[in-house]
Structure 1
Amino acid sequence: MLRHKAYKFRVYPNKKQQVLIAKTIGCSRFVYNHFLALWNEEYAKNKKGLSYNACSAMLPKMKQAEATHWLKDVDSIALQSSIRNLADSFSRFLKKQNNKPVFKSKNHPIQSYKTKNGNNNIELKGKCIKLPKLGLVKCAKSRELKGRILNATIRKHASGNYFVSILCEEKIEVLDKKIVPIGIDLGVTNFAILSDGRKIDNNRLTSKMEKKLKREQRKLSRRALVAKENGTILSEAKNYQKQKRKVARLYEKVVNQHNDFLNKLSTEIIKNHDVICIEDLNIKGMLRNRKLAKSISDVSWSKFVAKLKYKAEWHSRAIIKINRWFPTSQLCSACSHQDGKKPLHIREWTCPKCQAHHDRDINASKNILKEGLRLHAQNLS
C-alpha cells in the first residue's frame, strides 16, 4: 500500500547557503502575508476569498515590479508553495475546519519553507543532500530513503540548527498478524501500564532538565534587562541572542528525547499487537487541573496516541478507543464486580466479591482490554 512517509535529517549549510535559506524563508513569508492581506479584503467584500490560480498568476508580475524584483533571487517553487499553503488554509477555514489564517511572524521560533521535487532536483548524494538553488548541502544521513521523493521542507530552529524533512511516497509493508491484543492505561507516575503486566517508566525528561532550564532562562532575563538599560533592541543584543540560542537548544534536546521515546514505544506496540485498546481521554480538559497540568503536558499523551494511530493505519492494526466514562478503576478485572470510585492515593485494592488482589493501574488496563475487545467484536459483526 502506497503511503506518504517523512524522513527528517539535520543539515549543515555553509555561510552562503545559510544566507540563501534566510532569504527564501523571508520571501516565502512576504508572499504569504501579501496574499493573505488581499484574501482578507476579498473575504470582507463577498465572504469567499481569492483562489490559488488567481494569486499564482499575480506572482510573475510581482517579480517584474521594481519594488519586489528581489523575489527572483530565491526558489520559485517555494513561493508557489506559500500560496498553496494559504489557499489550503483558507479552504479549511471556509469549511469551518480551522480558524482564519493569520499573518506569519519573523519572530516565530521555527522558520521554514517548502519546495517540490522536479527532475530529481531533490536527492540524497552520499553525505549530502541536493536541494533547489542551494545545491549540495552537508547532511547527517541516518537512514536510506525509500520510494519517490515528493517534496522537502527546510527548517531553521531557534537553536540555530537546520533540518530538512523529505516527504516520500513509498510502499509500506503490512506486518504479520499477531493476534495478541493489548490494553493500555496511560498514567503520570508510569507513562503506560499494559494489560500484560508491564509498566513503562515515565522518563520525566522536562522535569530532569527543569533546574538547568530555570538557570539559563534567568540568565536570558538578566541579559534582556541589560540590553533594555543600554537602549539596545533585543534583535541586536549579541549576548541576549547567544543566550536565547542556548535556551532553545535545551528545549530542542528535550523534544528530541521525547520523540525518540514515543517513536520507539509506539513502534514496539504496533509490531507486537494487532488490536490496541486505549481510553478516549479528554486531555484538554485534564490540562485545566492546575495540580496535574504540568505532569500531563510533560508525558505527551496526545503525541503518543497520534503516533499509534498513523502507524496502526500503515500496518493494518486496529486502535479501539473506549469511552472515557467507562469505570476502568472501579471494576474487578477477574469477576467484573464494581467496587465504587476510589481516590487517587489508593494504588492497590482487594475485590470484596472474589478476593482478587489488584494493582490499580494493571487492573484498569485489563478492563480497557476487555471493553475494547467487546467493542471490536461489535464493530466486526
Structure 2
Amino acid sequence: MSLLYHDQTVAALQRDAAWVAAAVPDEPRVPLRLPTGLPGDLAIGGYAVSGARLFGDGPAHSGLAASSKDGRVHDTVEGGFLAVSAPVPSDEGTAMVIRVATPNSQVRDRVHQAWLLMGGLALIVIALAAGVAVRQSARLAAPLERLTAVAQALGGGDFSVRTSPSGLREADQAGQALESTARRLGAVLSRERAFSADVSHQLRTGLTGLLLGLESALSRPGADLAPAIRAALARGERLQEVIDDLVRLSRDSRVPIEPLDVRGLMEEIRQEWLGPLAEQGRRLTITVEPELPPTTAQPAAVRQILRVLLDNALRHGQGEVAVTVSDVGPGLAIEVSDHGQGVAEGADPFIRSSGDSHGIGLALARSLAEAEGGRLVLSRARPPLFSLLLPGRGT
C-alpha cells in the first residue's frame, strides 16, 4: 500500500516538475513567475547543475538536483520531503534543474488513512458476513433439526412421519427421501407381520390335524395305532416340508437362475394329493401343455401356493379337482378348480379373517405369488377357479 501511494505521488510530482521546467526560460530571472494551478503544499525551487539553489523553496544545496545534470528525471526523499528533479534543457545541455517536493509526512498520512479506511471496511464486511452467516446457519439448521426429529421418530417405529417444506432444495429432497423410506419400511413391516401371522396359521393347522389324528386313535379302545402313527408321520413330514419351504423363502431373496421344473412340480402335487382326495372318493386330474414359457419362480413358493389352493379344494370343495398348466403369452398360468359351492357373491376370499381359515391361507398364497412377481386371482367364483399367473423368464 505505501509503495502504491509513493509511486502515485512521484508520478504527480514528475508531471508538476515537467510542467514547471517547460515554463521556465533558459535564463530565468528573479522573481520568476511559476505556472498557476499547482498545489499549494509544493516546494518548488530552481537549482544549478551543481546543486546550488538559484530561486524558490528548498534546501540551499540539493544532491537530487545535482544528479539531474545527466538530463533525466530523478526522485528521492530529501530533508523530510519527497522530491523530484526535472532538468531544463538548453542548446548547451542542461541549463538548470527544477526541484518539486512535497512533505513526506503527507504520503505517510495518506497511507495510514488508507489503512484505516480499509480496516474499517474490513470490519464492516466481517460484521455483515457474520450476520449473514448467523442468519444462514439458522435457516439451514432449522430444517436439519426437523429432519433429525423425523429420523428419530422413524427409528422409534413411527412410519407415518412427514416432513414440511423448508425452501431448501437439498433439505426438501432429503425429507422426501425420508418419507419414501418410511412408507416403504412401513409397507414391508406390515407385509412381514401379515406373512408371519399367515405362516403361523398354516403351521397351526397342520399341527392341529396331526394332534387330532393321534388323540382320535388313542381315544378308541383297542384301536390299531399303527395306521394313526403312519398318518401322523406323514403329516409330520409334510409339516416339516412346509417349515423348510417357508424358512427358505424368508431367507433367500435371490432371483433364481434355473427355470422352474413345472412337470416335476406337478408330479410332486400328484403324489401328495392323490391319496387324500381318493379317501373322499374324489379324483385329481393334472393337465400340462406341452410347450410352456420358462419361468424362474422359486419352487418352494409355487409349491406352498398350490398346497393352499388344493387344501381349500379338499376341505371346502366338492367333486373332481383339476389342475391345469397353460401358456398365457409372456408367462404361464396354473389353474386349480373343483365343483364346490365356491365363493359367496361379493365376498373376497383373500381377506384375512380369524374366523375364516381359507381366507388366511389364500392371503398367504397371494403374498407368496406377489413376492415372485406373479398374481393369484379368483377367475371364477362358482364353481371356484383360482389362477396363479407367473411371469416368464426375463419379463
Structure number with larger C-alpha Rg:
2
Question: TM-score per shorter chain, which class?
Answer: under 0.3
User: Which has the larger share of strand?
Assistant: 1
User: Which has the larger share of helix?
Assistant: 2
Structure with the larger RCO, 1 or 2 (CA within 8 Å, 6+ apart): 1
